[in-house]
Structure 1
Amino acid sequence: MKNQERLNLITDSLSAALQSFCQFESLQKHLGKLPRGQARALLAIGKDAGRMMDVALKIVSPTAGMALCLTKYGYYQPQDERVTCFEAGHPVPDENTIKHSRTIIEWLQAMPRDMELIVLLSGGGSALFEAPKAPHTLADVIRLNKELLAKGLDIKEMNKVRATFSEVKAGAAAKHFKGKNIRVYALSDVENDDPRVISSGPFTRADVEFHVIGNNFSFRQLLKTALEELGLDVVNMQAFESGDAATLISKIRQLFADNAHNPNCPIILSGGEVPIQVTGNGKGGRCTHLALSMAPVLAQYKDALFVAYATDGSDNLSDVAGAWVDAATVNKLNAKGLDIDAALRNSDSYTALNAIGQALKTGEFHANINDVYIISPCS
């Protein structure tokens, strides 16, 4: 099978798996088991808040005025008149972040004593839901987020620092709630699905019921099924990759070496989120950086293909989901006079790979469940 044909099968399968994932079957099952007759409020926060809200509304009938959504600009236009949707900045908070977060705090504080709160969390919630503690200001929060993003810290470390500035993180949002009880249903974009880390844990409290309804691994399982239905042999790695880029590159390099002559020639799925420290002023993201870093490795294997894909369709740049490389990538770059090491040093991986048509542009999808790495050692 030629690499372009294989790439098309992979990208089509990614799209099919994302569509399936965003039906949120686990969420539907959980909400369908809730007892009838209870007054309920719905609060959805994150980049996939809109889709989660729409699924919940098919099963839960919120009390009038009790369905709020906070998401990224342009991500959700509710068709249900019961929903009030707020929009704010991501990945860096803005004035609307603070304004709408304080509105949600006041809403929680005014909740009737008999009200049950259903919270729907998805990736991006930590930046979108924020109200700084005095004497901190919006400017302090913006500066902090930009510094954390530039340092290349993992999400756990970022959220730990963010919580020290916040009136809503690390369980603080739950303290504002005056109703009966809280149930949280979350899409996890963090290692080990830690409730204290997902969206910086705004509703983590001992008496809060917490359910993870999807994560990077469960998405990869759907991708595995989609590829297997095309007759491909697929292995889905259990681990969530985090830490530093050099370690991940070494692991992927070894997977190519170990499987290049495997008679079964499986496609190997891995995933996680490995931050990249910004060292220049070019254009790129985690996935384009990783793909470009792998290009010299794939030059050794004539039939190899590697794809790095951000599940929200936005690899730092809004119209770029990631990139792919194969054995011919290095020669293509050389022919264009593009130096891999220079591009990586300048954090300019997108520019290099886009110049040879190997950036993936699938459109933003909002399903923020980290990145997927697709290792195909041979045709």
Structure 2
Amino acid sequence: MDPRDTTLALWTAGVAAVGGHAATRAALEGAEAPDRIFAVGKAAGAMARAALERFPDVPALVVTKDGHGDGLPEGVTLIEAAHPVPDARSLRGGAALRQAVEAMVPGERLLLLVSGGASSLAEDLAEGKTLDDLAALNRHLLAAGLDITAMNAERRLISRIKGGGLLSHFRGARVRVLAISDVPGDDLGVIGSGIGAAPPAPAFDYSAEIVASNAHARAAAAAEARARGIAVLAEEEALHDDLEVLAARIGARIRVMGPGAMILGGEPTVVLPEHPGRGGRNQALALALAREIAGCAGITVVVGGTDGTDGPTDAAGGIVDGATWGPGGAAALAAADSGSYLAARDALLTTGPTGTNVMDLLIALRA
């Protein structure tokens, strides 16, 4: 297997280990049946499929990203919406969730499945706020270079269902939340802007569990490397910083690494120009790292969003080596058009929806 295939295999092993279906299925072993199943986020389809295999007769509502709801059984209410910038369907999804929670009666039990992306996919706006306000806020947040915690704090300010707001409408007996974390620290109050968080002093039994995270993905990638006889040189959550700062810092480490693999996770931030081109933060980081390792033989880097998408594109990220950087690379980075550059060099990472979302994963391999 050549270095490109090996590096991609390590990345894929990490993502497969945090699949929403498997993680949810494992968490529900021996669980009692709920009265309703609601799932929201990019991994909502995969998580709901597992729950409905365990509880096939329970009514279910799923709100997820376009193309991420395939394979759900008949009878499921499915609402697909836009990401990363919300659209009118996002308001429909948010209202449907609130109304479904409100409709539950005393004594009933709710299974709520939450994953990243819910901030955009489902919204029920505070009084006086409009879809235009929501879309403008999201465009501003995506371009401003803020981390996910700061972004979701802003989103909660205009929402009726974030930050514990959704479950403030619950009149039943028990809520169990299973969440896939796409935020640093796995804080349920930040995942999906807190759509699965409990309200203050809830009048019902509430429990929450993180069933998959970036740490799980990194550990699985490291285990795959060791099983292949590859030394693991680093396994860290080290991607939380400005993209260019990260590229310089990580690039310096990669250039001098010995034979083996570095496995890094997190979520870079990037400030976009007024009219960005094609790409997302992972494609931009891949291209910036290609610049840092230009001319280095024997090094391959894969960096991608674990959900299978990167920004408003159908690529997850990029696969680069010492020969990827060349004329036009600097201009592509400056114009936030890394996707076009990588596509022209067969260096895009394209996976399709993965059924999970645990931030980003980077594998650097030196043969």
Which deviates further from its counterpart, 360-369 or 208-217?
360-369
Post-superposition CA distance 1:104-126 (Å, at most 9, x none)? 21111110111111110112111
- Tell me the equivalent position of 1:198: 191
- CA apart distance, 1:310: 1.6
1:24 Cα deviation from its structure 2 partner: 4.6
Match of 1:95 in 2: 88
Aligned AA (1:124)? G
CA change 1:19–1:304 in 2 (3 A) is closer
Q: Indicate the residue corresponding to 1:341 in structure 2.
A: 330
Residue type of the partner of 1:267? A
Deviation at 1:361, TM superposition (A): 2.4
Where do residues 273-284 of structure 1 align in structure 2 (5 Å cutoff)? 273-279=267-273, 280-284=275-279
CA distance in 2, matches of 1:326, 1:89: 33
What does residue 272 of structure 1 align with? 266
Partner SS for 2:248:
helix
Conserved 8 A contact 2:247-2:292: no
Q: Secondary structure at the match of 2:28?
A: helix
CA contact (8 A) 2:181 2:210 kept: yes
The answer to which of 105-114 and 216-225 deviates more is: 216-225
| Offset of residue 78 of structure 1 | 4.8
SS of residue matched to 2:62: strand
5 Å-filtered alignment, 1:285-300, equals: 285-299=280-294
Q: Distance in 2 between matches of 1:192 and 1:56?
A: 26
2:127 aligned partner, one-letter code? A
Distance change (3 Å), C-alpha of 1:328 and 1:103:
closer
| Percent of matched pairs sharing the same residue | 32
Change in Cα spacing, 1:374 to 1:258, as seen in structure 2 (3 Å) is same
Give 1:26 shift.
Answer: 4.3
Output the amino acid matched with 1:347: A
Bigger shift: residues 142-151 or 188-197: 142-151
Whole-Å separation in 1 of the counterparts to 2:345 and 2:360: 22
- CA apart distance, 1:240: 4.7
Match status 1:368 vs 2:365: no
Q: How big is each residue's C-alpha offset from its partner over 1:205-245, in whole Å with a ceiling of 9 and x where there is no partner? A: 25531100001120122222233333222245232521312
The residue number in structure 2 matching 1:126 is 119
Q: In structure 2, what is the equivalent of residue 8 of structure 1?
A: 5
Mapped contact 1:284–1:351 kept (Cα < 8 A): yes
Give, in angstroms, the shift of residue 300 of structure 1: 5.1
Task: Describe the shift of the 1:23–1:39 C-alpha distance in structure 2 as closer, same or farther (beyond 3 A).
Answer: closer
Change (3 A) 1:14 1:201: same
1:40 touches 1:62 (CA, 8 Å); kept in 2?
A: no
Distance 2:164 2:310 in 1: 29
Which residue matches 1:154?
147
SS at match of 1:32: coil
Alignment of 1:341-360 (within 5 A): 341-360=330-349
Q: What are the Cα deviations for residues 27-63 of structure 1, in whole angstroms up to 9, with x where unaligned?
A: 33432243x4x65211100111111011112223554
More relative contact order, 1 or 2 (CA 8 Å, 6+ apart):
2
2:27 aligns to what? 30
CA contact (8 A) 1:41 1:62 kept: no
Cα separation, partners in 2 of 1:80 and 1:271, compared to 1, 3 Å: same
**SS of residue matched to 1:139:** helix
CA contact under 8 A between 1:311 and 1:370: conserved in structure 2? yes
Q: CA RMSD in A?
A: 2.1
Residues in 2 aligned to 1:26 and 1:88: alpha-carbon distance in whole angstroms = 24
Amino acid at match of 1:48: A
Shift of 1:23: 6.1
State the alpha-carbon separation in 2 of the partners of residues 20 and 239 from structure 1.
17
Which amino acid letter does the alignment assign opposite residue 354 of structure 2? F
How do 1:147-186 and structure 2 match up within 5 A?
Answer: 147-186=140-179
Tell me if structure 1 keeps the 8 A contact 2:11–2:302: no
Aligned partner (choices 192, 208, 213) of residue 210 of structure 1: 208
Distance 1:187 1:120 in 2: 8
Q: How many pairs are equivalent?
A: 361
The answer to whether the 8 Å contact 2:282/2:303 transfers is: yes
Aligned to 2:249: 251
Runs of 4+ in 1 over 6 A off after TM superposition: none
How far apart are the structure 2 equivalents of 1:78 and 1:351? 32
Cα distance, 1:257–1:318 mapped onto 2, change above 3 Å: closer
Instruction: Say which of 235, 239, 242 aligns to 1:241.
Output: 239
**Corresponding residue number in structure 2 for 1:80:** 73
Aligned partners of 2:299, 2:70: CA distance in 1, in Å?
Answer: 42
Q: Structure 2 unaligned segments of length 5 or more: list them.
A: none
Q: Which of 5, 14, 39 in structure 2 is aligned with 1:44?
A: 39
- The CA distance in 1 between the partners of 2:167 and 2:260, in whole Å, is 46
1:329 is aligned to 2:318: no
Instruction: Report if the CA contact (8 A) 1:268-1:375 is conserved.
Output: yes
- The letter of the residue matching 2:66 is Y
1:270 offset after TM fit, Å?
0.1
Supply the AA of the counterpart residue of 2:207: E
**Quick check: which has more Rg, 1 or 2?**
1
Encode CA deviations 1:131-180: one digit per residue, 9 max, x unaligned.
Answer: 11111111111111111111121111111001010000110001111111
TM-score of the aligned structures, taking structure 2 as reference length: 0.91
SS at match of 1:210: strand
Q: Which structure 1 segments of 5+ residues have no match?
A: none
Partner AA of 1:230 in structure 2: R
